[in-house]
Amino acid sequence: MEKNDDVKRRIGLEQEYFLVDERGKLGNWADEFLQTCQTLAEDKGYDRHYFVPEFVKNMVEINTPPCYSSQELGKVYLQNLQLAITASHQMGLRLYPLSSYPLHIMPVMRDKPNYHIQARTVGYERFLHAGKCTGTHVHLEVPKGVINRRLGVTYESSSEDREELLNIYNLATALDSALIALGRACPYYEGESMGVASHTIRYRGSEKFGWEGVYTHLPAVGGLMPYADSVETLVENQFNRFHTWLQAMEKVGINRQQFLEAGGSFLKSSWNPIRLNGLGTVEIRCLDSNLPSVILAMIALIEKISHRVRNEELKVRPVLGLQVFQQEGETLLVPSFDYLNGDLLYAAATEGVKHPHVKAYVDSILELAISEGGEGTQYLSQLRQELDRYQGIEGEILQTFNSTTAHLSQEEGLNLVLHYCDILESQVSYLNTDYPLKKLDEIETFSANPN
């Protein structure tokens, strides 16, 4: 099909990091560190607002502006990350980039009403899981004004704009298990090798699978929401989620007014893996925090396939019994929600790409993204060729830091932390150029260390 190259949308990124000292020990230095980052940013003419606090004091978030290509996004992502690394060295600190700190920690939560409301509603002990794992969020821009902060969708927007929102939302939903399987980072959580995608398990949770996480008992608020077959369904799902949250708060004695006064809102009551964001984006929140090579690859994959959906005006439609992505003319067929959020999610979070159904599903997504062409394609093609033996960062850690006992020792855990602090800095040094995806394509082996 002839492409509509007039459709130009932006993409943005947020990534969370742990702060550790030169021994690898976690600490609550976020405020001082961010002040150093913001001062350095002003000195270099960067935007200081891309270095922001998280809800716990041992964690920070580094963001990017919205960019028109994954190449542009990669460039500013690495520039901001290099600045943060420079700031950490000035303070005798390091940035640890993986999805969980491998040893036992007790996060210190910031004393803000919105955090206390979330903690009271889900339970303080359960809520602290969110402070023990880090994620990466990718924002896909949709037509301006189509997302409404009070209703979810603006009905006065054009039918074409609403259709684009619907298809990007459904595409992001259909990508969920692939991004989990490909992006699995640290296998250790609280000193134990869980044998599962720990960030997914501890943040999302699942009663069905026995996963104890933040939103185990509130899947409407923190789990993957169903596809929407129409804009009306999408809006209805958003209202159902909002009322679920209001009811959960009421059960612990918190009323709606308290939530609103603490900065809460209709859209800000969603912590789902895929959600509508008031910034005017579909936000993908299921990715582990990881090394830059993995993040760049995931950005390229997401951008290429979303670009195809927009510019070829593909309608994303789930099909019962289908286990892979399949394009038929102007329709992109994807797995049904029950399968996506059931057997496929479980396989992606346990066996990962080693599971034949996950491998076939991921392979079909890579095939569609690669056919878009452009920078990053060579790296994705190599990844596709190596799927049979793909192990990701998680697999490399288990090979290198496989404890002789079920519990990771303090020394082993600190060595792991410092090792990946080193690799983070090595990768940033290697990839921080004007054309990071071109540099990524030059890597000969899909591995943690490009050098």
Give the CA angle between residues 425, 428, 429 to the nearest 5°: 85
Residue with the two structure tokens 């920078």: 375
* Long-range pairs, 20-23, Cβ under 8 A, ≥24: 20/93, 20/94, 20/95, 20/96, 20/101, 20/417, 20/418, 20/421, 21/92, 21/93, 21/94, 22/92, 22/93, 22/94, 23/414, 23/418
pLDDT at 154 over 60: yes
* Mean of pLDDT values over 135-141: 98
**Amino acid 8: pLDDT:** 85
Residue predicted with more confidence, 3 or 234: 234
pLDDT at 219 over 80: yes
Higher-confidence residue: 177 or 155?
Answer: 177
Spatial separation of the C-alpha atoms in residues 31 and 35, rounded to whole Å? 6
SS3 of the chain: CCCCCCCCCCEEEEEEEEEEECCCCECCCHHHHHHHHHHHHHHHCCCHHHEEECCECCEEEEECCCECCHHHHHHHHHHHHHHHHHHHHHCCEEEECCCECCCCCCCCECCCHHHHHHHHHHCHHHHHHHHCECEEEEEEECCCCCEECCCEECCCCCHHHHHHHHHHHHHHHHCHHHHHHHHCCCCEECCEECCCCHHHHHHHCECCCCECCCCCCCHHHHCCCCCCCCHHHHHHHHHHHHHHHHHHHHHCCCCHHHHHHCCCCCHHHCCCCEEEECCCEEEEEEEECCCHHHHHHHHHHHHHHHHHHHHCCCEEEEECCCCCCEEECCEEEEECHHHHHHHHHHHHHHCHHHCHHHHHHHHHHHHHHHCCCCCCHHHHHHHHHCHHHCCHHHHHHHHHCCCCCCECCHHHHHHHHHHHHHHHHHHHHHHCCCCHHHHHHCCCCCCCCCC
* Cα-based distances in Å from 87 to 62, 76, 294, 314: 13, 17, 23, 44
Lowest mean pLDDT among 204-208, 335-339, 352-356, 401-405: 401-405
- How many percent of the chain have pLDDT more than 70? 96
- 288 phi/psi in degrees, rounded to 5: -65, 150
Task: Sketch the domain layout of the chain as residue ranges.
Answer: 11-426
CA distances from 54 to 16, 95, 364, 405 (A): 8, 14, 36, 33
Overall average pLDDT of the 27-36 stretch:
98
Provide the pLDDT for residue 369: 97
Mean pLDDT of 181-203: 94
Residue 446, pLDDT > 60, answer no
pLDDT tens-place string over residues 281-327: 999 999 999 999 999 999 999 999 999 999 999 999 999 999 999 99
Report domain 11-426's class: alpha beta
Distance CA 302, CA 326 (A): 16
Label residue 181 by pLDDT band (50, 70, 90): very high
Give CA–CA dist 384/377, Å, rounded: 10
Single pTM value for the model: 0.96
Q: Examine the pLDDT at 20 and tell me if it is beyond 90.
A: yes
Listed range (151-165, 334-348, 358-372, 400-414) with the worst mean pLDDT: 400-414
Q: Looking at residues 190-198, what average pLDDT do you find?
A: 91
Strands 188-189 and 11-21: unpaired
The phi and psi torsions of 426 (rounded to 5 degrees) equal: -65, -45
For the chain, percent of residues with pLDDT exceeding 90: 93
pLDDT in tens, 46-89: 999 999 999 999 999 999 999 999 999 999 999 999 999 999 99
pLDDT band at 250 (very low <50, low <70, confident <90, very high): very high
> Given a cut of 90, is residue 449 above it in pLDDT?
no
Interatomic CA distance for residues 372 and 307, integer angstroms: 8
Q: What pLDDT is recorded for position 7? A: 73
Instruction: Give the pLDDT band (50/70/90) at residue 402.
Output: confident
